[in-house]
Chain A
Amino acid sequence: MGKPCHFALFDLQPAFRLDLDQLAARYRERVRDVHPDRFADAPQAEQRRALEQAAQLNDAYQTLKSAPRRALYLLALQGGELPLETTVQDPDFLLQQMQWREELEELQDQADLEGVAVFKRRLKDAQGEVETRFAACWDLPGQRDEAERLVRRLQFLDKLSQEVRQLEERLDD
């Protein structure tokens, strides 16, 4: 038996645009059904199966709730998995990424929390823009290259927003 698709586990159709609240609610529902407490008196095989299901649900939920991971998953469903480690040559985008990282370094040196807030809003806008473009093209024939380029951009932006969060924590201390 093949592994069920992550979306099917939550009775959802594969799509990039997702209602994350609905996803979270369905995840909590499904996980409750396989909670170990419910299987305390069940035979070991059933207990093990419940644990496996809980792990599968968690894996699916973590994948779907993150925009870049969801995007990668959709492309994998559609036309095969993308390599994990790859070199991207997207000069204009990478140049901008480098400039933004330089800016972030300056904000760190100056401990400029207000500047970080502005930076974060701009980053969020950029993420929103790439997500919109991805949502419009990922399932169109002939658009695979563009969808792959966009998902790679989402990965870079996601990494950058993690760094912004870490910087905020450091500046808060």
Chain B
Amino acid sequence: MAYSEKVIDHYENPRNVGKMDAADPDVGTGMVGAPACGDVMRLQIKVNEQGVIEDAKFKTYGCGSAIASSSLATEWMKGKTLDEAETIKNTTIAEELALPPVKIHCSVLAEDAIKAAVRDYKQKKGLL
């Protein structure tokens, strides 16, 4: 299958690959998976006192589209407030990366990872 240039760029030069301490009270961790293709995605955010995401990291085991979707998600989340980050939609990710229909679920996985990370952070802070 032909990947778009943007997918290849993120796949070859993934942004923000890494790991944060999940026990850190300022870190939110989203862990999601897609059983049909076996993809596993971890997305983490570090939030400052103003409620702004100052850093984001990810690690994804999966296809190029899944890696690109999560890489792009971390780029877009940095500098955003939690509420802003939660408005990132899979359709926007899919559009930016020009994902073909069979790979749309990779962007859905990234959106679900964002939501899971924000929820984890809010739970830690007693905001939910």
Contacts and interface: CB of A to CB of B under 8 A. Distances in A.
Contacts of A94: 31-33, 40, 42
Contacts of B32: 87-89, 94
Interface of A: 84-91, 94-95, 97-98, 101, 152, 155-156, 158-160, 162-163
B72 interface: no
Main secondary structure on A side of the interface with B: helix
Interface of B: 31-38, 40, 42, 59, 61, 105, 108-109, 112, 116
B38 A160 contact: yes
A155 B35 contact: yes
Given A85-B105, A87-B33, A156-B38, A98 B61 contact: yes
A101 B116 contact: no
Nearest to B112: A87
Contacts of B31: 89, 91, 94-95, 98
A85 B109 CA distance: 10
A87 B40 CA distance: 10
Contacts of B35: 86, 88, 152, 155-156
A98 B31 CA distance: 10
A124 B105 CA distance: 28
A85 B38 contact: no
Nearest to A154: B35
Contact of A85 (B36, B40, B116): B36
B109 A87 contact: yes
Going nearest first, the 6 A-B pairs with the smallest beta carbon separation are A159-B38, A155-B35, A87-B112, A85-B105, A152-B35, A101-B61
Given A98-B59, A98-B61, A101-B61, A86 B42 contact: no
A90 B36 CA distance: 15
Given A160-B38, A163-B38, 18 more contacts: A85-B36, A85-B105, A85-B108, A87-B34, A87-B108, A87-B109, A88-B32, A89-B112, A89-B116, A90-B33, A91-B31, A94-B32, A94-B33, A94-B42, A95-B31, A98-B31, A98-B42, A152-B35
Nearest to B30: A89
Contacts of B40: 94, 97-98, 101, 156
Contacts of B42: 94-95, 98
B27 to A, nearest CB: 14
Nearest to A160: B38
